[in-house]
Amino acid sequence: MTYQSSGRTHRDGLLDRPIPPGQCDEYARLVAQPEQTDSKERQSLFIFSLNTEWFGLPAGIVEEVVDDRMPHSLPHRRDTIVKGIVNIRGQLVVCVSLSEMLGSAAAARVMPDAGISASRLLVIRREHFRVAFAVTVAHGVEPYDTASLLAVPSTLAAASRKFTRGMLDWNGHAVGCLNEDLLFHALERGLS
């Protein structure tokens, strides 16, 4: 006995029934309709905090989240943005202070001169450029509609406002959605 014939004997011809009149026409009409697309554009945002302030970056540029580690200082480099280099899976990655770059009031508490006190390092990449920075909380990826972005308030610090393309209300927190193009441009310019 073959599988094909055994299936038919157990179901008593269930699939061999004739199609009801008009059902083929109804299915053809449904398939022929143009696909209805949602006017809202959905994207994914990686949400993290720098102490009490919440930010988000496009999930596609976040390479990984690793445990915190002490950056090794770079000789002859004493600026507030570049903290040093860290070893991420055998590769040296520049570690920066995103808090300092954004002009955040929490900057001194997130990455003090004595080392990183944050709980995680967030590693981001775009093409050949890879950089890490300390975050207090790495929440993870959340979907959002681009139409739900709110205007950046004028009360936001000037540096933060410069890098923020919109605000998102997420779980009772105001999340600043960072503009990755401006962020990477500033980072590349600051490291050259």
pLDDT-above-90 percentage for the chain: 38
SS3 at position 27: helix
Same domain? For 167 and 95 the reply is: yes
Q: Is residue 71 part of a domain?
A: yes
Same domain? For 123 and 145 the reply is: yes
Beta bridge partners of 145: 42
Q: What is the helix (H) or strand (E) element at residue 144, kind and residue range?
A: strand 137-145
Amino acid at 104: S
Q: Are 176 and 54 in contact (CB under 8 A)?
A: yes
pLDDT at 113 > cutoff 70: no
Same domain? For 9 and 66 the reply is: no
Same domain? For 111 and 183 the reply is: yes
What pLDDT is attached to residue 4?
55
Query: What is the pTM for the complete model shown?
Result: 0.70
Q: Is residue 37 part of a domain?
A: no
Q: What is the helix (H) or strand (E) element at residue 3, kind and residue range?
A: helix 3-11
Same domain? For 22 and 54 the reply is: no
Give the domain range for residue 77: 42-191
160 DSSP assignment = H
Same domain? For 80 and 21 the reply is: no
Whole-Å CA distances, 103 to 20, 43, 110: 69, 27, 12
- pLDDT 10s digits, 45-72: 999 998 888 999 999 999 999 998 889 9
Nearest alpha carbon to residue 96 among 40, 66, 107, 106? 107
pLDDT at 2 > cutoff 60: no
Same domain? For 59 and 120 the reply is: yes
- pLDDT 10s digits, 123-161: 999 998 999 999 999 999 999 988 888 888 877 666 677
Higher pLDDT, 145 or 13: 145
Lowest mean pLDDT among 3-7, 61-65, 111-115, 151-155: 111-115
- pLDDT 10s digits, 17-47: 787 788 878 777 777 777 655 556 889 999 9
Same domain? For 28 and 49 the reply is: no
The 10 Å Cβ neighbour count of residue 19 is 8
Same domain? For 14 and 88 the reply is: no
What pLDDT is attached to residue 114?
35
What pLDDT is attached to residue 10?
52
- Mean predicted lDDT score pLDDT of the chain: 81
What pLDDT is attached to residue 117?
40
Contacts of 91 (CB under 8 A, 6+ apart): 130
Q: Is residue 78 part of a domain?
A: yes
Q: Are 162 and 182 in contact (CB under 8 A)?
A: yes
Q: Is residue 96 part of a domain?
A: yes
